[in-house]
Amino acid sequence: MKSIFYSLFSLIFFQGIAQTFSPSEQHQIDSINAIINNPLSHDTDLASAYGNLSIILYVSNIDTIIPLCSKSIRIAEKSLTKNPTAKVTKSLKNSISDALNNIGYAYMDKGDFSQALKYFHKSLKIYEETKNKKGIGDSYNNIGMVYDYHGDSKLALKYYHKSLIVYKEIRNKKL
């Protein structure tokens, strides 16, 4: 079933854009394809693979983010009903949160700020639950971007500041 979905996905989304990927991106896509098509892949790997694929394909086609992230969420939510270990539960919840965050970014890019905020706040709630500091910082930053784009400087600065505090706490040197 997974390979049928991926084959269909490939026909729809890769046609005409595959040549635009760098060798590194193509390698990542091939690696993700191997996970998706492997019948022995664990749900944590599958959920993460669909989320990662959405990030790679975002640049060439933003419309791929929502369906891929929705697939990631469905896989993770289904797996959570099987009462996995605490470690697997945390991984699945972080995959859900990553996907929600990516969906929020897609809505922000399309100018739908209310939907973007909705998804960023859902993502933030799960990151807080799983104590994923980097995810919390990213969510604060993304919420700040929405307010910034929307022209609400006061709220934007509030969330940017929260993000900066978290990034300093985890020593994120990429800022």
Q: What would the DSSP string read from start to end of the chain?
A: -HHHHHHHHIIIIITTTGGGS-HHHHHHHHHHHHHHH-TT--HHHHHHHHHHHHHHHHTT-GGGHHHHHHHHHHHHHHHHTT---HHHHHHHHHHHHHHHHHHHHHHHHTT-HHHHHHHHHHHHHHHHHHT-HHHHHHHHHHHHHHHHHHT-HHHHHHHHHHHHHHHHHTT-TT-
User: Is residue 118's pLDDT more than 70?
Assistant: yes
Q: How many CB atoms lie within 10 A of CB 165?
A: 12
Average pLDDT over residues 121-145: 95
Average pLDDT over residues 11-23: 52
Give the C-alpha separation, 121 to 7, whole Å. Answer: 33
User: Is residue 62's pLDDT more than 90?
Assistant: no
The per-residue pLDDT for 3 is 42
Average pLDDT over residues 26-49: 77
Average pLDDT over residues 134-150: 94
Question: Which tops the pLDDT comparison, 46 or 108?
Answer: 108
Give the C-alpha separation, 168 to 175, whole Å. Answer: 9
User: Is residue 44's pLDDT more than 90?
Assistant: no
Q: How confident is the model at residue 41 (pLDDT cuts 50, 70, 90)?
A: confident
Chain mean pLDDT for the chain: 81
The per-residue pLDDT for 2 is 45
By C-alpha distance, which of 159, 172, 171, 1 is closest to 71? 1
Q: How confident is the model at residue 59 (pLDDT cuts 50, 70, 90)?
A: low
89's CB contacts (< 8 A; 6+ apart) are: 80
Average pLDDT over residues 87-100: 93
Q: How do residues 158-169 score in pLDDT, each as one tens digit?
A: 999 999 999 999
How is residue 147 written in tokens? 């307010």
The per-residue pLDDT for 158 is 97
How is residue 149 written in tokens? 């784009």
Residue 99 in contact with residue 69, Cβ under 8 Å?
yes
